[in-house]
Amino acid sequence: MSCLKSQKQCVNDQEMDHISTLPDSLLCHILSFVPTKSAVATSLLSRRWISVWTNVPVLDFTAFPSSVYAGGELGTETFNSFIMNVLLHNDTRCLQRLHLLVCRRSNMRCVNSLFNSMSEREIWEIHLARSWTCDDIVPVQLPAALFARERLVVLKISGPFEIKVPLSFHLPRLKTLYLRYLKFVGQNVSKTVTADCSSLRELLIEHCYGLRKLYVDSPTLSRFTKRFSRGMMVAVSGPNIRFLDLDEFAEQYDISDLSSLVEARIRLSSDEASRQLWALELIRRISHVKTLYLAQSTVEVFGHFCENELPIFPNLTRLEIQIADSIFRMLEHAPSLKHLIVDLGVCINDKACHFVSEIIPQCLLSLPSVEIRNFRGFDNDIELIRYILKNATILKELKIHLHLSSMKDRRDAYNRLLSFPRVSSCQVIRCSCCGDS
């Protein structure tokens, strides 16, 4: 009887195991979405699965055997042997993606060997990162072989890593380049990153330092982002750039051609006269955008110059802006605005901003949509909403994100806002930033 049950169970298991009947190409596609450690583990399922993982076109070294995290020589040896054993068995000539997380500084010797040994393989996408939980976060040098890939399309590096310049890039098909937490060292610390990337579409520079000058000059680039990278002068010329995101930490921005720009996010400091001048020039260069985000410090630039020195934004239809004293001066220069988002979160107290209520920007008379974020119930928060309801004649929707801790405070604030007189028949929508709505 037990033998019959066992045979019946075996038949049922075979009937239920539909995945094993799939072709290798489909199984490899499925395994490409899990870490290589998990893909290798499927070889234990049955004889059918023993060699499936060796043909997976993705290597994801972001999860390792537990001994890798133990530290010391054992951890380093396990890391090295695991990667090299995988490469020994998986000899796919064309890799769609390679993800590699470096756990320790001592792993870099293996990383260098990995890229050298894969020089003949075609790789389309590389993600290289260091773990911030590792024992040593001092930047380590990147392997030169990483920057000489004929068919590489996507390269994303997140350090701390070190790049020695001048460095020869040879990435003719690269379309996406992310550089995060990198230290540039060398005698010549000025670099035209895009010169050796003739197909580049997207460039992100974040938390990088050591470069005195960064030149971004590319006829193919469509997105450029620079965040939290201090002490460099940035020169940008991109006739096809459609998205631009700049922080306040540059020594200077030199913008020469942004004729195709559609969307910009600008955070500039205006604390010095010299910075105010080039900040104004940058604002002029982006004045034809359709979508714009301005940080509080950038908005204040409008308060440092005369009316006739400031540009008009004729195409601007969507504006996200942090609250500042000069907000109405900015709005006066956006006649086509259709959607306004005001972030009140940067106001520290009731006296942080002072509104000039007698100024009524022309765009406010034809504005259909307004969104208020981080409403905390300060007097200025309330006065701004009262002002909008009083003057926005065709307003259809006012969405308010209430940043209040208790449900009672949110309910009381919302009821008070509903009592304000309005010149339009707009709908006031309440959203809660914290707690339940």
Task: Please state the domain count of the chain.
Answer: 1
CB atoms within 10 A of CB 404: 19
Give the pLDDT mean for 198-202: 91
pLDDT beyond 70 at 236 = yes
Of the chain, the percentage scoring pLDDT greater than 70 comes to 84
pLDDT beyond 80 at 7 = no
- 27 domain residue, yes or no: yes
Strand partners, 401: 431
255, 281 Cβ separation under 8 angstroms = yes
Rounded to 5 degrees, φ, ψ at 321 are -140, 140
Give the helix/strand (H/E) hosting 329: helix 327-331
pLDDT band of 290, cuts 50, 70, 90: very high
Average per-residue pLDDT in the chain?
A: 82
Considering only residues 333 and 436, tell me which one the structure prediction assigns the higher pLDDT: 333
Give the pLDDT mean for 265-282: 75
List, for residues 141-156, the tens digit of each pLDDT value: 888 778 888 899 999 9
- 292 domain residue, yes or no: no
Q: Which of 355, 354, 361, 357 is nearest to 333 (CA)?
A: 361
- 146 domain residue, yes or no: no
List, for residues 77-118, the tens digit of each pLDDT value: 778 888 888 888 987 889 999 999 887 777 777 888 888 888
SS3 content of the chain, % helix, strand, coil (to 5): 35, 25, 40
At residue 193, the 3 state secondary structure works out as: helix
- 8 domain residue, yes or no: no
pLDDT band of 349, cuts 50, 70, 90: very low
Rounded distance between C-alpha atoms, residue 112 and residue 328, angstroms: 55
Q: Which domain holds residue 50?
A: 17-137
pLDDT band of 426, cuts 50, 70, 90: confident
pLDDT beyond 90 at 223 = yes
Torsion of CA 287, 293, 299, 302, to 10 degrees: 10
Give the pLDDT mean for 392-405: 89
- 66 domain residue, yes or no: yes
Rounded distance between C-alpha atoms, residue 437 and residue 433, angstroms: 9
CB atoms within 10 A of CB 16: 8
- Tell the residue number behind the tokens 């981080």, with chain if given: 374
Q: Is the dihedral of CA 154, 158, 162, 165 positive or negative?
A: positive
pLDDT beyond 80 at 8 = no
367, 335 Cβ separation under 8 angstroms = no
364, 336 Cβ separation under 8 angstroms = no
Distances (CA, A) of 64 to 44, 60, 76, 215, 240: 17, 10, 11, 39, 42
Buried b (16+ CB within 10 A) or exposed e, 306-323: eeeebeebeebebbbbbb
Question: What pTM value is reported for the model?
Answer: 0.84
Amino acid at 407: M
- 98 domain residue, yes or no: yes
- 308 domain residue, yes or no: no
- 85 domain residue, yes or no: yes
Q: Is the dihedral of CA 368, 371, 377, 380 positive or negative?
A: negative
pLDDT beyond 80 at 227 = yes
